A and B are shown apart, each in its own frame.
Chain A
Amino acid sequence: MAIFPPEKRIWWKEPLHGFELVWIGICLVWAIVMFGTMIVWHVIGEQNLSNTAYRIDPDVFAARTEAMVTQYTVREEGDTGIPVVHPPAGSDVYLQASLWQWYPILELEKDKEYRLHLSSIDWQHGFSLQPTNINVQVHPGYEMVITLKPNKAGEFGIVCNEFCGIGHHNMLGRIYVVE
């Protein structure tokens, strides 16, 4: 009985139950398989999060975003006044998170690679690209650079999925992917 001490003092010399030994073996093999899968996916998988990140002053990031917006804005989104930016394929694109906006709206080309720079200029935010379902944390003072290749045309929402205050649920951005 487990709530009383083992009667025989030398419990560590008791033999193992046969199936227990088998199960421990299965568990250890499975553990190695799962560990190995993460490493193997870095080699064969196409979805690995970038290891590139920089410390950055929020003002500098905002300035770079604004520079891209000035250069590549193609239109405004409806009557919202939010610029839609179409940067050249293969270029560096900036997406700035702030209370409570993703700025600007990006228009990307399908099957082209972009270097997406993600950062926040105030609190933490969560980049949740839907419906493809990619979720990345966005920090102030850190700029993550993700090489991204949209593989489907359409309209994608960017939900903020890190709680960021009372306007959190209104923080919605967009990415267009065009053929």
Chain B
Amino acid sequence: MADATLFRTCPDTGLPVHLPAQRLIKANAVAGVLALALGGLQGLMVALTRWPDLQLLPAEAFYTMLTGHGLNVLLFWIIFFEVAILYFASAILLKSRLAAPNLAWVGFVLMAVGALTTNYAVFQGDSSVMFTSYVPMRASPLFYLGIILFAVGALIGCFIFFATLVIAKDEKTYEGSIPLVTFGALTAAIIAVFTIASGAIILIPTLLWSLDLIPEIDPLLYKVIWWAMGHSSQQINVSAHVAVWYCIAAMVLGAKPLSEKVSRMAFLMYILFLQIASAHHLLVEPGISSNWKIFNTSYALYLAVVGSMIHGLSVPGAVEAAQRRRGFTRGAFEWLRKAPWGNPAFAGMFTSLVYFGFLGGISGVVMGAEQLNLIMHNTLYVPGHFHATVVAGTTLAFMAITYLVVPLIWRREIMFPTLAKWQPYIFGLGAAGISLFMMGAGTLGVSRRHWDINFTDAALSFSYPDTAFLMMALNGLSGLLAAIGGVMFVVIVVSSILFGKKRGDDAAETNPVIGVGGGQAVASYGSEGTLKLPGTMILVGVFFIAFFLYYWVNWKYLSEVWPLS
């Protein structure tokens, strides 16, 4: 049974907090933010190099920097933070003790050592193979070893999460079903196990190959399995940040899902169908049939997309319902106008939702159509898409919840509140700009991962349209804006943790970070079915029209390229 001395009671939420879990949440979140700081800086260098008039770095340094950028932000920042979310969603939300904290620390150390090892290999300069490390291009063995160690550590984190669910059930720390946020985290953890297993299946042989113990790895086989890790790991992010959206909406506004059934079903669709998206990266490969591509790229009839579209209704719907319950009932949008836009947690959450849906979601589905991929594969459209999902979506959502984690878990007040108020908007706008302008350049054919689109030293010549150069400059400016937002975030968080005013027990009244009545008062489950939600209906209507039009425009573009079969 749980040792009561290892718990404190949170004065804000009334939840019992398991102290060993709290320490692990802090450690993982800090490691994540450090990776974000490094990876973000590398991202800025990349954006400024791809600005044709600046071309900041020389070619070799650019490719090294780009490799490090991908690893640090896409892998290390996000997965460290996700492990923190897993511990939070299990131990804290279920009011339970965390299973085997010492083993969790072993996992943390493995992840940290792995991240450092891979970074060391990249900075040596002999492993500039990009995040994807497609064979037969070869990195130093340490590069693969570091990622494998990191993955093993993350796997331990997942199993600590599962074990905590078992303990909480066994010790009856909660009644009925697990909360929706925990359910979302569970989705993320299940996908993570699949992801890490795929990674092990391909990276362990690749490590042996880099040590000359295996003569050859088939490049196509590598991609099929590597992307079962590479793409599924992005589905961990989706599940985790959707869970974070529900979490912030609940904590700040006391929002309930419109109906638990639908939201949980949407998460279940992720588990069932998101895994096969490896195909998104294989649509223009030789030797894979169209039948396979169509079935897999569409997540079996787009059922995972349906899942995301359901969350796209359910999350703003929950916010609208909660706001209307609080009396903001005038017109279609009073609830939205009067939302707590000055609260960085809410602002980050809602803008993340909008950017993820409109920019990331639509572009992802369009790019994932078998034939449309022909006009987008490996152009800048691809990073344009995933900066909308992973930066404007996941990263912004994780930043947003950090504004709740610092006061609630660290018990420190957020320093520089005015800066914090602006941070999600600045970072979000920068990230959205990066996405839009890269997608624009990609539509004009500009290649991703390319140092010089002027082709200065090439034997032949070719010029992209002038608009493409404008797009790249705007991308550079957006990168600067996002970097400013990123620096603001790191400064606010690090200084609050180190020097922030200790949050007193009466702060729940004097300086609340969760909504009035946010805590247990709204702990009830109830259908919001009787409430009218005109604002959300208009929002999803606009979304659907944008989606519909943009989808067909791209088929029009496709119909204009050289006929091929």
Contact = CB atoms under 8 A, between A and B. Distances in A.
A136 interface: yes
B232 to A, nearest CB: 20
Contacts of A51: 289-290
Interface in B488-526: 518, 520, 522-526
Contacts of A28: 306
Contacts of B555: 37, 41
Most chain A CB within a 10 A radius of its CB, from B376, B452, B536, B563? B563
B30 interface: no
A135 B250 CA distance: 44
B465 A169 contact: no
A135 B374 contact: yes
Given A12-B260, A38-B294, A123-B137, A172 B286 contact: no
A23 B311 CA distance: 11
A63 interface: no
Given A136-B284, A165-B137, A6 B371 contact: no
Interface string A14-55: 111111100110111011101101110110011111110101
Contact of A31 (B180, B302, B374, B462): B302
A42 B290 contact: yes
A173 B461 CA distance: 8
A161 B564 CA distance: 19
A173 B460 contact: yes
A31 B301 CA distance: 6
Contacts of B246: 2-3
B398 interface: no
Nearest to B285: A137
Given A4-B520, A6-B525, A24-B310, A128 B378 contact: yes
B445 interface: yes
A8 B559 contact: no
B303 interface: yes
Contacts, number: 324
A157 B462 contact: yes
A132 B103 CA distance: 55
Interface string B539-563: 0100010011001000101110111
Contact of B178 (A5, A12, A37): A5
B285 A147 contact: no
Contact of A130 (B219, B283, B445): B445
Given A27-B306, A141-B218, A1 B374 contact: no
Given A19-B533, A53-B286, A149-B562, A4 B523 contact: yes
B177, B444, B453 pick with most chain A CB within 10 angstroms = B177
Interface in A140-179: 140-144, 146-152, 157, 159-166, 168-174
Given A2-B249, A163-B449, A166-B63, A17 B529 contact: yes
B254 interface: yes
B450 interface: yes
Contacts of B482: none
A23 B458 contact: no
B286 A137 contact: yes
Contacts of B256: 1-2
A170 B259 CA distance: 55
A126 B179 contact: no
B18 interface: no
Interface residues of B, number: 111
A172 B452 CA distance: 11
Pick the most buried of B130, B285, B548: most chain A CB atoms within 10 A of its CB. Answer: B285
Given A7-B523, A163-B449, A169-B451, A134 B374 contact: yes
Given A17-B529, A47-B559, A124 B310 contact: no
Nearest to B260: A11
B294 A35 contact: yes
A137 B317 contact: no
B338 interface: no
B357 interface: no
B457 to A, nearest CB: 5
Given A46-B563, A157-B460, A168 B451 contact: yes
B564 A16 contact: no
A5 B563 contact: no
A61 to B, nearest CB: 12
A165 B63 CA distance: 8
Contact of A135 (B376, B461, B536): B376
Contacts of A8: 525-526
A149 B301 CA distance: 31
A140 B527 contact: no
Nearest to A42: B290
A77 interface: yes
Contacts of A82: 459-460
A122 interface: yes
Given A41-B371, A141-B219, A169 B452 contact: yes
A150 B564 CA distance: 9
Contacts of A47: 371, 374, 558-559, 561-564
A38 B137 contact: no
A45 B60 contact: no
B436 interface: no
Nearest to B548: A30
Nearest to A79: B459
B416 interface: no
Given A14-B261, A32-B301, A123 B378 contact: no
A5 B548 CA distance: 37
Contact of B286 (A7, A38, A142): A142
In the A-B complex, the 5 residue pairs with the closest CB atoms: A6-B525, A157-B462, A31-B302, A144-B286, A53-B286
26 contacts: A1-B522, A2-B250, A3-B180, A8-B526, A9-B176, A16-B259, A18-B529, A23-B540, A30-B302, A31-B301, A31-B302, A31-B305, A37-B369, A38-B298, A38-B370, A38-B371, A133-B379, A134-B375, A142-B220, A147-B564, A157-B462, A159-B445, A159-B447, A169-B59, A170-B455, A172-B458
Given A2-B180, A159-B447, A170-B455, 11 more contacts: A1-B522, A2-B250, A7-B176, A9-B175, A23-B313, A27-B310, A47-B374, A49-B283, A128-B447, A139-B286, A174-B462
Interface of A: 1-9, 11-12, 14-20, 23-24, 26-28, 30-32, 34-35, 37-39, 41-42, 45-51, 53, 55, 77, 80, 82, 101, 105, 118, 122-124, 126, 128-144, 146-152, 157, 159-166, 168-174
